[in-house]
A = this chain, B = another copy of it.
Amino acid sequence: MTTSSASAPKRGPYAKSKQRRENIVIAAHEVFAEHGYKGGSLQVVADRVGMSQTSLLHYFPSKSALLLAVLNWRDTVTGDGGSRSPEESLASAVIRQARFNETVPGVVELYTVLCAESLTAKHPGRDYFTQRYEGLRRSYSRSFTALAREGRLRSGVDPERAAASLIALWDGIQTQWLMDPDSVDMAQCLQDYLDFLILPE
């Protein structure tokens, strides 16, 4: 036998399945970004990927399962959070990511729209976002603490509050940027804030 016990005559997904699933996730990403989770429909996703709604449900058993797949896919695609090399500074990684985000407004929109929507009752994305925020705060908090040890954090700055504030500023500036991209310079706002918190070497 190749896998598992003899009483399980399974063969696994066919060759094109992987590509098919990814196409669905990408289409769903667009639809959820444009209309939100509640506002987006499986039918529209199916139309966009060129298959029937029934076939779509063969790959993802429910709408909420599709949402979670979209959120997890987003994580793997965007070099998100702690994926910076040990040499790169926190500030440089943040600014680099912010500049990159300007080139993918759809990704920013998905994140901003679903994050707030996940605050509503029984939203399937709730756990994803709460865990993500916990992780992000811990990660940034550690970075600020490390900077403090080197004496490079402005005195009086609390690492945990600074972590939450940095994330908050980032999220909020993205919202304004989505409303009117010309009204605000995301990277510059983050740069200003980090220049204040972090002292030069």
Main secondary structure of the interface of A (DSSP, over half): helix
Shortest beta-carbon distance from A100 to chain B in Å: 19
Interface check A57, CB cutoff 8 A: no
- Decide: B112 and A34 in contact? CB cutoff 8 A: no
Given A117-B36, A189-B161, A172-B167 contact (CB < 8 Å): yes
- Copies of the chain in the assembly: 2
Interface check A165, CB cutoff 8 A: yes
Q: Which of B129, B172, B180 is within 8 Å of A170, CB to CB?
A: B172
Given A113-B120, A120-B113, A165-B189 contact (CB < 8 Å): yes
Question: In the complex, what distance in Å separates the CA atom of A129 from the CA atom of B180?
Answer: 11
Contacts of A176 in B (CB 8 A): 133, 164, 167-168
Interface check A51, CB cutoff 8 A: no
Contacts of A196 in B (CB 8 A): 196
Contacts of A130 in B (CB 8 A): 179-180
Q: Which residue of B lies closest to A35 (CB)?
A: B120
* Contact code string A8-30 (vs B, CB < 8 Å = 1, else 0): 00000000000000000000000
9 A-B pairs with C-beta separation under 8 A: A38-B38, A109-B119, A115-B175, A157-B192, A161-B188, A161-B189, A164-B189, A168-B176, A171-B175
Q: List the 4 closest pairs (A to B, CB-CB), nearest first.
A: A168-B172, A116-B116, A172-B172, A171-B172
